[in-house]
Amino acid sequence: MGRKLILVLLAAVVALGLAGCVAAGALPAGSSPAAWGAGASTRYVTVVGRGEAKAKPDIASLDVGVQTKAEKVSDAVSQAQAVMNEVLAALAEQGIAKDDIRTSNYSIYLDEGYRGPDAEPQPTYRVFNSVNIIVRDLNKVSAVLDAVVAAGANQVYGVSFTLEDWHAVEAEAREKAMADAGERAQHLAQLAGLQLGQVLSVSEVVGTQPTIMPVAAERAAAGLGGGAGPVEPGQLTYSTTIQVTYELK
């Protein structure tokens, strides 16, 4: 009985101690005074800064393909292969390197050909063969589209633009986000009648790299009738947010 009483008293003491730490600690969840280098009474403010940087894209990504159909699967396959060989030859003539061409889809589909309850089925095999193409000279995007369509590509899935190296744009957005966080924290400190102290923690929420597709599908489809027309790369935007915690004095 005495041992049980001692255990109950010890549990109560621990619970009171924990409650006292929570009440006195003004630190973020998961932090400890030792990790922060400050006492449990540290006052702080946490803000989220936002930064954005823009850049012109320097590479284009095209997705084009070939669709064939025949009653025999071997015929559909051979037709697709013959057309794709022409497409690859056209890309080589446009100066596209082999390393910048990648097969993105190859599939065979049986179309059973049911058109209604009274119609006779007409089964055919369809073969889809598509490639992803990287164009490093944006002035050649329209010419490349025209060339692959002339070679027999009958599927154009769209054009997207991006940067080969995002590091400089990311760094610019990060700097702007950090400056924005400092301005927000300074304003809050002034409103509270306090002074901003040292940075206690920083964490980044990585931004997105949106792909610009400026009416690419419609213009590329127009190329099926001859001439892809001008394709505009537009401008890319990279955004990021940074959460910063500052000491208040």
Asked if residue 239 has pLDDT above 80, the reply is yes
Nearest to 46 by CA among 245, 248, 249, 191: 245
Lowest mean pLDDT: which of 10-19, 47-56, 73-82, 174-183? Answer: 10-19
| Structural domains of the chain sorted by starting position, each given as residue range(s) with its CATH number in brackets | 26-57+164-249 (3.30.110.170), 59-162 (3.30.70.2970)
Query: Which range has the worst mean pLDDT, 98-112, 120-134, 164-178, 199-213?
Result: 199-213
Q: Which of 54, 53, 51 has the alpha carbon at shortest distance from 241?
A: 51
pLDDT of 149 over the 90 cut: yes
pLDDT of residue 52: 93
Q: Please name which of 235, 119, 136, 245 lies closest in space to residue 184, comparing C-alpha atoms.
A: 245
Percent of the chain having pLDDT more than 90? 64
At residue 208, the pLDDT reads: 61
Q: Label residues 23-58 b or e (16+ Cβ within 10 Å = b).
A: eebebeeebeeeebebeeebebbbbebbbebebebe
Q: Is the pLDDT of residue 24 over 60?
A: no
At residue 206, the 3 state secondary structure works out as coil
CB 151 within 8 A of CB 87: yes
The confidence score (pLDDT) of residue 234 equals: 85
> And the tokens for 30?
């998961």
First to last CA, the chain: 51
Q: What is the pTM of this model?
A: 0.67
